[in-house]
Amino acid sequence: MSTLARYKLPLQPAPEPVLLAVNQGVRSASFEPVQDAQKVLGGAQAPANGVCRDPQGRVRITCVTDMPGVTPAMIDWWFGWHLPFTERYALWHPTAHVRSVVKEDRSHVIDDRGKYIGNVSYVDEYIGASLKRLAIAFVPPSLFGLNQLDARHATAICAYTSDWLMRGEGGCLVHYVLPTAKGSQMRSAFWLGEIRHHHALVDQALHGVLNSRLVRRLIVSDRMALDLLQHCGEEMNHLARFLPSLYADMNPLERSMLA
């Protein structure tokens, strides 16, 4: 039996606020770019769950998850620990996460952030009914305007996302994690629709077309954006259910020091 068997929990539906936001559909609104992530996610109040599309066809998705018993440091550990192994990745969303490999296995690296920042995770996962083959390139939070983060108090997981079937980069993600009285609150946001083809000559020739309002709406459809909101609500709430016990079991020395 796998040593991870006790963490393979059945998936529960996304929380009611997320499902309500999905049912409300996509609203039209302008929004700040990813470089203003601190303004979007770091305020005194969390952003509302939902999907909005700006006049140029770009999309922003926001999803808030309360995570009892989880600390920001646990989130940094999780992103460094699960990347190289499909079995670990599948814990996160047992019905949607299919496959995970990593550009560079940094399991030997001591620093949790050093395991994923600057690394690339290649994943196959279902967003709604559609199987996506994605490359998630993790970058320093400062690149998105998030500075002076300390995992004892807050952390942020930041990345560029690419679709390998379409051979193009199309978005950014930020999971901003703040401590609360009961654990942490994760404020997630996805910026989609800034499209860049991986082949420089193709990108130069087609950049304007790929980033037209019509093509952006075709590539990042309303349905896909709403499915991603629901997916994020499912996976982050599911993660919060097992992460405190998984972290304690995988870090017994730290647990004994805190006891």
- Go through the domains of the chain in sequence order and give each one's CATH number: 20-251 (3.30.530.20)
37: three-class secondary structure by DSSP: helix
The reported pLDDT for the residue numbered 128 is 97
And the tokens for 144? 């998105």
Q: What is the pLDDT of residues 138-181, one digit of tens each?
A: 999 999 999 867 656 899 999 999 987 777 889 999 999 999 99
CA 232 to chain centre: 7
**Closest residue by Cα to residue 2 from 90, 114, 134:** 90
Which residue ranges in the chain fall short of pLDDT 70?
1-2, 148, 150-152, 203, 253-259
pTM of the model: 0.94
Only one residue has tokens 């009285």, namely 181
Q: Running DSSP on this structure, what letter comes out for residue 147?
A: -
Cα–Cα distance, 140 to 118 (Å, whole number):
8
Residues in the chain, total: 259
Q: Say how many C-beta atoms besides its own lie within 10 A of residue 258's C-beta.
A: 8
136's torsion region: left (phi>0), alpha (psi -120 to 50) or beta? beta
The reported pLDDT for the residue numbered 232 is 98
The reported pLDDT for the residue numbered 148 is 67
**Closest residue by Cα to residue 231 from 100, 94, 99:** 94
And the tokens for 33? 């770019």
> Residues near 223 by Cβ (< 8 Å), separated by ≥ 6?
128
Q: At what angle do helices 72-82 and 222-250 cross, to 10 degrees?
A: 100
